[in-house]
Amino acid sequence: MRLKVGALLLTLLFLLVACGEASEQGEKGDREKADGKWTEIKDAGELVVGTPGTLYPASYYPEGSDELTGYDVEVIREIAKRLDLDVTFETLSFDAMFASLKSGRIDVVQAGLRENNKKKFAFSDPYKYSYSTMIVRKDEVSEFTSLEDLKGKKAGGAATTVYSDIARKFGAEVKTYGNVTNDVYLRDVDNGRTDVIINDYYLQSLALEAFPDLNISIQPDLKFYPTTQNVVLEKDADTLKKKVNEALTDMREDGTLTKLSKEFFGGKDVSKQPDEEIIEIEGIE
C-alpha cells in the first residue's frame, strides 16, 4: 500500500513540475512574441511605415518636391528619432496598407481606430482628434441638412474607409478611387461626377483652401462621427506599442505635437480633443 501511495505522489510531483515548465515556456513564448517585433526593428535600425503620400496635409509630396512630408509623416519621423531609428516610407493605398502590415512587409501604418481592425491589430494612443464633415457643391449645401439626405447621392471615397461606410449606411452610392490625390475627389464633386465627400474636418477645410475656384463647400452644420489618428502595429507587438506610446507622451508634454499640428493645420491644434458637439452614429465601428 505504501508503495502505491509513494508512486502516486511521485506521479503527481512529475505532473506539477511538467505543468510548471509548460506554464513557464508559455509565458516565455508570449514575452518573445511581444518583444520580437521590437527586437527585429531595433536590430535593423529602421522603422518601415506605410503611408498614402497623396493626402494633404497628413502625408503628401509638396509640389516640385520628392520629399514626403505632412503631419502624420513628421509625427512618425519624430517617434522614430526618439527611438533611435531611421525611418523608411512605402507609399500605399489605404486598402493596401493593412494587408502589407499583416504580411510583415511594413512595421506600422497610421490610421483611425476601428473595432474590426482592433481585433486584428494594436493601436497606439491617439495623436490626432477630429470628426467628420461633408463637402458638397456650394449651391446644394441646403440639400444636405441631415445624414439622411445622403440617400440616392453619389459619394467619393476609398473602398474600405469608415467614411464610405457612413455614406453606404445612409443610402449613398460610393464611387471608389485608388490612391489618388485630394484634387481628384474635389474636382469630381465640382463637375458633378459625385455629389459629396465625407472625410475628416481638418483635411477637408485645408483642401477647400487649396482649391478656392471650385464650386464646393463644407456643410457647416453637420459635424458627426468623432475620429482619432493612431499608429497601428501588429497585434502582439506589445513592446513596440509601449515604446511608441512613451514617445507620443513625451511629444505631447514637450509641445512637439502641438507645434507640428499648427504647422500643418493652419494654426489649429489637432492633438487635443475638439469642443464641438458631434453626432455619434450607431452601427458604424
Q: Which domain holds residue 151?
A: 130-225
141 and 125 inside one domain = no
117 and 185 inside one domain = no
Question: Is residue 49 assigned to a domain?
Answer: yes
Q: What is the pLDDT of residue 235?
A: 93
147 and 184 inside one domain = yes
CA distance linking residue 17 with residue 269, whole number of Å = 57
CA distance linking residue 144 with residue 124, whole number of Å = 35
65 and 150 inside one domain = no
| Grid coordinates of 172 | 449613398
218 and 134 inside one domain = yes
202 and 255 inside one domain = no
Question: Is residue 269 assigned to a domain?
Answer: no
Q: What is the pLDDT of residue 28?
A: 46
Q: What is the pLDDT of residue 33?
A: 52
232 and 207 inside one domain = no
With beta carbons less than 8 A apart as the criterion, state whether 149 and 172 touch: no
175 and 248 inside one domain = no
Q: For the chain, what is the radius of gyration of the CA atoms? A: 24
| Grid coordinates of 107 | 512595421
Number of folded domains that form the chain: 2
Q: What is the pLDDT of residue 93?
A: 86
Q: What is the pLDDT of residue 285?
A: 67
Question: Is residue 119 assigned to a domain?
Answer: yes
| Grid coordinates of 24 | 513557464
115 and 146 inside one domain = no
| Grid coordinates of 97 | 496598407
Q: What is the pLDDT of residue 187?
A: 96
87 and 161 inside one domain = no
204 and 154 inside one domain = yes
Question: Is residue 32 assigned to a domain?
Answer: no
Q: Residue ranges of the chain with pLDDT lower than 70?
A: 1-34, 115-116, 285
Task: Report the Cα 86 to chain-centroid distance in Å.
Answer: 21
217 and 233 inside one domain = no
- In this predicted model, what pLDDT tens digit does every residue of 1-51 receive, in sequence order? 444 545 544 554 454 455 555 445 544 444 455 578 999 999 999 999 999
Beta bridge partners, 217, equal 136
Which CATH number does the domain housing residue 219 bear?
Answer: 3.40.190.10
- List strand residue ranges (DSSP E) for the chain, in order: 46-51, 54-55, 59-60, 86-91, 108-111, 121-123, 128-137, 154-157, 173-176, 196-200, 216-218, 224-234
| Burial class, 46, CB count within 10 angstroms (exposed 0-12 / middle 13-18 / buried 19+) | middle
Question: Is residue 10 assigned to a domain?
Answer: no
